[in-house]
Amino acid sequence: MLQDAFGRRFSYLRLSITDVCNFRCNYCLPDGYECDTDRNFLSLDEIKQTAKAFAQLGTEKIRITGGEPSLRKDLPQIIQACKQTHGIKTVALTSNGYKLEEQLPLWLDAGLDALNISIDSFDPRQFQAITGSSKLDTILSGIDNALNAGFKNIKINTVLMREHNAHDLQSFFEYVKDKPISLRFIELMQTGDNKEFYQQQHVSGQHIKNQLLVNGWLPKIRSKNAGPAQVFTNPDYQGTIGLIMPYEKGFCDTCNRLRISALGKLHLCLFSEEGLSIREYLQHDDVTDVKAALVSLLGNKKATHYLHEGFTGATKHLSMLGG
């Protein structure tokens, strides 16, 4: 099992398969995707080798992310390859939902277990102002289709922003009233490119936590393998509300995830310095060298991100790494 110097064990891999995106979220790619990296993304074969090596080191869950992963035509094959890797129990996808309605059947056939869709506003005009996309309706009907198909493992990610959505929490609560969906508010994080935006828009999740508690929501007991969200339930609501507060003390203590970029670099933290390439080891059937490289590189993982001190590492925006 992959374990770092602080005793944290890593059973979860976030695998970015592209850094290209068709949205221009104001906190991530406000000017849209700019082709400033080599676009030689990991091939399907390299992805299979990566999944195999991680699985042999105890990884049980792979989240496919991006950029926008659904822009890759071979996404269904990638889902299937991860799912068929011995030892991988869960394959999840994070997407902006742009292709959800059209591609959901392909993703489900490929074996997708869990889906996170990012929605920062339920008001189409505000949604368009945030993302540059007018597709909110299509995204919402894609989610309805997934629910109607009996697919229950759906989460919505909402980045909290002072002026764009934090004043209208009611529409988010309403959305989960009759839907078995877990909606999670994520505190806006500072990256290399968004310092000014961050300073204007960052709000602490504490404000929501207080609102939830006075409105009858109850904190759910955290299970051993739970992710970073603090989850709240309410008997009057089918769905749940989660809070992801990366600036909270102790946030990194339970870190259980590692990241591989679309160019095959290991990132020990969302906010580490340059990634560490494992690509040269992915060219053979035998994954012994990849595993040795992963174990050795993990020795450098730090106890925490230093975001509180404004340190964002080499991460210009999260579409580089998938959040």
First CA to last CA across the chain, in angstroms? 23
Residues 96-115, one symbol each (x = binds ligand SF4 by CB under 6 A, - = not), give: x-------------------
Spatial separation of the C-alpha atoms in residues 182 and 188, rounded to whole Å = 19
The answer to whether 286 and 161 are in contact (CB under 8 A) is no
Spatial separation of the C-alpha atoms in residues 8 and 62, rounded to whole Å = 18
Instruction: For residue 173, give the 3-state DSSP assignment.
Output: helix
Member of 21, 53, 55, 139 binding ligand SAM (CB under 6 A):
21
Task: Tell the smallest beta-carbon distance from residue 173 to ligand SAM (Å).
Answer: 19
Tokens of 216: 């009858």
Q: Which does 13 bind (CB under 5 to 8 A by kind): ligand SAM, ligand SF4, none?
A: none
Residues 89-108, one symbol each (x = binds ligand SAM by CB under 6 A, - = not), give: -----xxx------------
Q: Please give the biggest Cα pair distance in the chain.
A: 57
Q: Which does 316 bind (CB under 5 to 8 A by kind): ligand SF4, ligand SAM, none?
A: none
Treating both helix axes as pointing N-terminal to C-terminal, what angle do 75-83 and 100-110 enclose, rounded to 10 degrees?
Answer: 30
DSSP state of 242: E
Residues in the interface with ligand SAM (CB under 6 A) total 21
Contact region with ligand SAM (CB under 6 A), list: 162-170, 186-194, 235-243, 252-260: 186-194
The answer to whether 285 and 295 are in contact (CB under 8 A) is no
Return the residue matching tokens 């991530």: 28
Q: What sign has the CA pseudo-torsion 312, 313, 316, 318?
A: negative
Contact region with ligand SF4 (CB under 6 A), list: 25-33, 164-172, 197-205, 265-273: 25-33
Residues 58-97, one symbol each (x = binds ligand SF4 by CB under 6 A, - = not), give: --------xxx---------------------------x-
Tokens of 84: 């068929």
Rounded to an integer, what is the distance from CA 85 to the centroid of its chain? 21
Q: Residues 57 to 76: which contact ligand SAM by CB under 6 A? A: 65-66, 68
Residue 189 near ligand SAM by CB under 6 A: yes
Q: Provide the binding-site residues for ligand SAM, judged by CB under 6 A.
A: 21, 27-28, 65-66, 68, 94-96, 118, 157, 159, 186, 188-189, 191, 194, 318-319, 322-323
Q: Which residues bind ligand SF4 (CB under 6 A)?
A: 21, 23-25, 28-29, 66-68, 96, 118, 319
